Every structure is written in structure tokens, then in C-alpha cells.
Amino acid sequence: MLRGLDKGQRAALLISECQQGVIDPALSPFQSLAEQAATRNIVPCIARLAQCFRDAELPVIHLHVVHRPGYPDLPRTSAIIVRSVKDQRMIAGSQDVLAVDELQPHPTDIVHARSFALVAFHGTELDAMLRHMGVQTLVAVGVSTNVAISGLSLCGSDLGYQVVVPEDCIAGASAESHEFILRNLLPLYSTVCDSDAVVQAIS
């Protein structure tokens, strides 16, 4: 049995930052991340998982970064954010913030857009929204293993959720950093598995 999905827990699929300005090689300033996402072929795996969640009538939530024009509420506290400001990226209304074609939100999906913070829980209503929907387990997919996925998983665990991370549905800035976090950090606060195990558990 898959811990986190072994007792009939209500799960939500959280698709992290699968946006054109993040993982589309033609638009992303993070070329190594875009290359890793393509090499690991995570988008088709995520799309399959998303459809399984929809078929099971479970929430599919797209966690998008969407900055306000002029970045009025954005703290310049990390290299990632500073680079976005410098390059004028991920601004509301731009192509950058759109989901990649294969992961366009369906009518029943929820798009959760945050204008600041590297982790989707910080300063947002995500926790309250999940609790209102009766969610007990988070299935975290997307990018990046280094920051958003690891941060989302750790915060989710701290907030009392079970967290499941299908490793074939995530990618990091490099194969080496992905592997290190997958082996040494994520297992401390989440259940690491593959997408087949999640499909089997929710079907």
C-alpha cells in the first residue's frame, strides 16, 4: 500500500509551475531545468496522472507563478526572483505564465496563481482552499525538485498533510541535484514513488 493513499484519504494533484516561461525550451531562462523536464519526459506523465484524478473526481490544481506588472509585492530575496525582475519575466498577461500546451487546465481544474514566494503555501490561500475541499493528501508534481517541489512537500507535511511525490513526474535544475534531493531530502517528509503507483491507488 502507498502511504498517504492507503486509507481512503482524499487526495489533490498539485501541478507545480508547468508554465511556458519555466519549462518551454523556447521561452524559459532556466534552460537546464527545461532540458531536464524534457529529458525526464515529465509532462506526459503528469497529463496522464491529471486525467486519472479527474476521472476519480479528485482536485487537480495548477500552481502557477504570475507576477503583477511592476513587481510591487515581490521581495528581491532570492536569485530566482531577482532574475525574473531583471528579465521582466512571468508577468500577468504574458505568454510566460500560460500552462504548457499538454497541461492546459480543464474546466474542472483549479488554477492557483501566486504573485510572490517560491513556495505555493506562503502568503496564499492554498491551505484554506485544500481544507475546504477535504483534502488530506497532496500529490506533488512538476518543477522544480530543487525549490518548489521540495518546499511544497516540506510545508505540506508541516501543515499536517500526507505528501506523495511520484518521481517520474518531477524534474530539477540538473540530474545530480534532482537525484540528491530525491534520495536524501524528499523521503524525510514525503512518500516517494512513481506515477503508476499513484494511478493504482486512486483508480
Q: What is the CATH number of the domain that holds 143?
A: 3.40.50.850
In the predicted model, is pLDDT for residue 1 greater than 90? no
* Res 81: pLDDT: 87
pLDDT band at 83 (very low <50, low <70, confident <90, very high): confident
Q: Could you identify the residue written with the cell 480543464? A: 106
CB of 142 closer than 8 Å to CB of 15? yes
Q: Evaluate whether residue 184 is within a structural domain.
A: yes
In the predicted model, is pLDDT for residue 187 greater than 90? yes
Q: What is the pLDDT of residues 29-80, one digit of tens each?
A: 999 999 999 999 999 999 999 999 999 999 999 999 999 999 999 888 888 8
In the predicted model, is pLDDT for residue 203 greater than 90? no
- Number of domains into which the chain is organized: 1
Q: What is the pLDDT of residues 99-149, one digit of tens each?
A: 999 999 999 999 999 999 999 999 999 999 999 999 999 999 999 999 999
Q: Evaluate whether residue 5 is within a structural domain.
A: no
Number of H helices, E strands in the chain: 9, 7
Computed over its alpha carbons, how large is the radius of gyration of the chain? 16
Rounded to two decimals, the pTM is 0.97
Q: Could you identify the residue written with the cell 511556458? A: 20
* Res 169: pLDDT: 98
Cβ-based neighbour number of residue 177 at 10 Å:
15
* Res 152: pLDDT: 98
CB burial class (10 A; 0-12, 13-18, 19+) of residue 162? buried
Q: Evaluate whether residue 160 is within a structural domain.
A: yes
Q: Evaluate whether residue 103 is within a structural domain.
A: yes
Q: Evaluate whether residue 88 is within a structural domain.
A: yes
Q: Measure CA 168 to chain center.
A: 13
pLDDT band at 159 (very low <50, low <70, confident <90, very high): very high
Q: Evaluate whether residue 3 is within a structural domain.
A: no
Domain membership of residue 77 as a residue range = 11-202
